């Protein structure tokens, strides 16, 4: 894994957090290109983030009376 990949990862996290999301998990996978004609390494970034939303009446979406609340 090189410094450019890590810098990109940090920048992606900053962008997500700047939009109000709380990053809860992050995975960066670096690997050699699977394409025979490319020798450059590639990376994938998986970001898990959460963001609470309020309803129109100002109550949190996790309200006990919310029929769409996951149990």
Instruction: Please tell me the distance from the alpha carbon of residue 45 to that of residue 23, in angstroms, as a whole number.
Output: 13
Going by their DSSP bridges, the two strands 22-32 and 41-50 should be labelled as antiparallel
pLDDT digits (tens, 9 = 90+) for 3-58: 888 999 999 999 999 999 999 999 999 888 776 666 778 889 999 999 998 887 76
DSSP 8-class letter at 24: E
Q: What is the pLDDT of residue 71?
A: 55
CB 55 within 8 A of CB 69: no
- Evaluated on CA atoms 11, 14, 18, 22, the torsion sign reads positive
CA atoms within 13 A on the CB side of 17: 11
């Amino acid at each position: 894994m090189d410094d450019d990949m890590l810098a990109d990862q940090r920048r992606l996290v900053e962008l997500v957090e700047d939009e109000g999301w709380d990053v809860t998990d992050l995975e960066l996978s670096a690997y050699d290109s699977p394409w025979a004609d490319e020798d450059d390494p590639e990376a994938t970034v998986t970001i898990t983030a959460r963001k609470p939303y309020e309803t129109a009446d100002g109550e949190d979406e996790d309200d006990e009376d919310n029929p769409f609340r996951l149990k």
